[in-house]
């Protein structure tokens, strides 16, 4: 299992290296009033990281809003029936 993991990590690193070498051209990124020049690979990695962070935060917010509702539903389900 360790050998397979090492091979997979090496393969991913090789693919990442090829990606960086093929995307060394500098591009200009403009957003609202500011702009900067950076290698295309850096911009891709930055956008990927921002997407990961955004996805994690969206998931965390969804879980946070889901918990109180589940707690309220479970307390209603556990309440003994009322006697009249």
- What is the pTM assigned to this prediction? 0.58
- Identify whether the C-beta of residue 20 lies closer than 8 Å to the C-beta of residue 41: yes
SS3 content of the chain, % helix, strand, coil (to 5): 70, 15, 15
How far is residue 45's CA from residue 50's CA, in Å, rounded to a whole number? 9
pLDDT along the chain (84 residues), means of 10: 87 88 89 90 89 91 74 60 66
pLDDT confidence of residue 81: 63
- Identify whether the C-beta of residue 37 lies closer than 8 Å to the C-beta of residue 21: no
* Closest residue by Cα to residue 46 from 59, 27, 18: 27
Q: What is the domain partition of the chain in residue ranges?
A: 40-75
């Amino acid at each position: 299992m360790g050998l397979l993991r090492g091979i997979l990590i090496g393969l991913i690193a090789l693919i990442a290296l090829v990606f960086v070498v093929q995307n060394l051209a500098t591009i200009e990124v403009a957003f609202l009033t500011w702009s900067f020049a950076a290698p295309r690979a850096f911009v891709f990695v930055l956008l990927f990281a921002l997407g990961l962070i955004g996805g994690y935060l969206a998931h965390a917010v969804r879980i946070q809003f889901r918990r109180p509702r589940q707690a309220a539903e479970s307390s209603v389900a556990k309440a003994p029936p009322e006697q009249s």
